[in-house]
Amino acid sequence: MMLRRSLLGAALAAPGLARAQGPQHAWAPQRPIRFVVPFPAGGGTDVAARILAERLTESLGQPVIVENRTGSGGNIGVENVVRSPPDGHAILMGTTGTLTINPHLYPALGFDPGRDLAPVSMAFTTDHVLIVHPAVAARTVQDFLALARERPRALSYGSAGSGSSTHMVTELFRLAAGVEVLHVPYRGSAPALNDTVAGTVQFMLDQLPSAIGQIQAGRVRALAVTGPRRSALLPEVPTMAEIGLPGAESTSWGAVLAPAGTPAPVVARLHAALGEAMAQGAVRARMAQAGADPASSTPAELAALMRRETERWGRVVREAGITVG
């Protein structure tokens, strides 16, 4: 039900394929670029954006400043970019949730991601990881599920908000496992992770980039990853398929977009700069170390991916009866 790497196809081409074709375009930014992340600092999307922003600053010749605009499941940040002048000085790090899930959850949205944003390029994919507070008496997923079945709704989990990827992935896991747990939505994955570390909520299916530091520090225990393969950062942690829950396999993604109406030469220059960034071994290594898999695409491939995923998540939201309060 969730997007898998095998389904991305050409949209996740090697970074070299994402470089602008033909000669370099003449457009150059005239002032700092706002790189809007619609979630709080410290989450997986924010981590990936900051790695890219550093390299984009070098290639574009102007500071690329990450700006966290939070709230309404990421909609506030997206709308900020949608309403910005289409001149290349405001770009968005969109996500699976903000671009393809939220339109089905918020019928009163004042924008349509497919209509009001100009795709630039895919940026990364990430797996999620099931983490529990050390006080939870579970060393394996089987232990965890036995505990959850013994005490329905006694275990609670945090998410980045209703309808966010951390919510949807956990609901997918819950449905596949046949357990009842309590959802506690937060304003972003970072505060949800903080409360998981504190034990206020017992578990979370966070994106790997934001959770890896707490896992490595021993503040939370990792039980399973959601990708089709084990993570190189957590080689001892099994996949959902390996523990008997193939239906819980999932991958989230992030992409860079600009306001609709941004001139083609501007989109081309931003696309080229992202391709240059992704081709840098240091950038790829830093993203991989943070748990994100670098990914690139043409603008057309990203637009097609958004259409497919919007249709897919519409079905999931309807079938699962997911709403936001």
Provide the pLDDT for residue 1. Answer: 43
- How many Å apart are CA 210 and CA 65, to the nearest integer? 20
CATH number of 128-248: 3.40.190.10
pLDDT in tens, 242-277: 999 998 988 889 999 999 999 999 999 999 999 999
Q: What is the pTM of this model?
A: 0.76
Burial degree of 304 (CB within 10 A; 0-12, 13-18, 19+): middle
| The pLDDT of residue 5 | 43
Residue carrying the six token digits 């966070």: 206
CA angle, residues 200, 252, 73, in degrees to nearest 5: 55
Pick one of 3.40.630.40, 3.40.80.10, 3.40.190.150, 3.20.20.10 as the CATH number of 5-126+251-320. 3.40.190.150
User: Which tens digit of pLDDT belongs to each residue from 87-127?
Assistant: 999 999 999 989 999 999 998 898 999 999 999 999 999 89
Chain-centroid distance, C-alpha 275: 19
- Asked if the domains at 5-126+251-320 and 128-248 fall in one CATH topology, the answer is yes
Listed by start position, the domains of the chain span 5-126+251-320, 128-248
292 closest CA partner among 234, 207, 200, 228:
207
Cα distance between residue 211 and residue 206, in whole Å: 6
